[in-house]
Amino acid sequence: MKSALAIKKVGHAGTLDPFATGLLIILIGQGTKLSPFIMSHKKTYLATLRLGAETDTLDKTGKVVRTITVPDLSAEYIRRKAGAFVGDIEQTPPVYSAVRCKGSRAYKLARRGEDVTLKKRVVSISSLQMGSIALPDICFEVECSSGTYIRSLAADFGTSLGSGGHLISLRRLASGPFNVDQAQRSRELGQQSYRALQEGVIPMLTALSGMPGIEIDHTIAKGIRQGRQSALLGLGRDLNLGSVVGGHLKIICSGELVAVLKINASRRDTHGRLEISRVFS
């Protein structure tokens, strides 16, 4: 795809675990600058937890480190326990993860047999819905904040049920407004024509459809692209910046994305609260 579209830079908005499937947002060209804004979206996953066995990776790719007899659990009891995980919760990232520890990726240290201790972090679970329950397997769908580890969530859920567990399947269904049902299959990309590949690329403005924006003229656009903070004077004067969800504004000129501005909540004066976050050529 890179050579077919003459693209010099390619990135993504959130990795998937090696055993996982589903939506992976690919960023190309100037679109790679959108990564922090797209990655901040809520994610939706479909997962299957297998009770009774814990692994070192918290998924089916790891070594079993503990087995526990699975008790006779009712569906009502399982759903009630799941409810305790909805909201803001603390979780410890998996040892086998890309979280940085001692200046390196945690999974690299773990593979070398080094001791890895990761700090707990607060994540938000918007919903946790049970699907099919056929013990020892429990299928569930979860909507969560960016940075949530579904492997950790599943392991903690299994522990709360008294038997431990690990993930045997994980599929990302959605990230913000992007849904796996609208995605292109990776194995088909190499078989598509140049025109088909072009048509499949989502414009940057569309990718930021949920972000509020301001229309500007070419003079202001030039100043912003040159990085002049003075070009922002007067922008946002008619907006209640404190009410802007996400703390960012997109700047548009003649249908093109010029920049994304950050709203500095610590500044009280309207003009000084806007700062240039990303500029697009």
Please list the active-site residues: 17
Other CB atoms within a 10 A radius of the CB of residue 217 amount to: 9
Tokens of 79: 């759903």
Rounded distance between C-alpha atoms, residue 169 and residue 87, angstroms: 23
Cβ-in-10-Å burial (0-12, 13-18, 19+) of 244 comes to middle
| Residues in Cβ contact with 193 at an 8 Å cutoff, skipping those fewer than 6 apart | none
| Residues in Cβ contact with 238 at an 8 Å cutoff, skipping those fewer than 6 apart | none
Tokens of 95: 């040892």
Terminal CA-to-CA distance of the chain, rounded, Å? 22
H helices, E strands: number in the chain? 8, 17
- Residue 103 is classified by DSSP as T
Q: Note whether 30 and 260 are within 8 A (CB).
A: no
- For residue 7, the SS3 value is coil
Q: Note whether 14 and 39 are within 8 A (CB).
A: yes
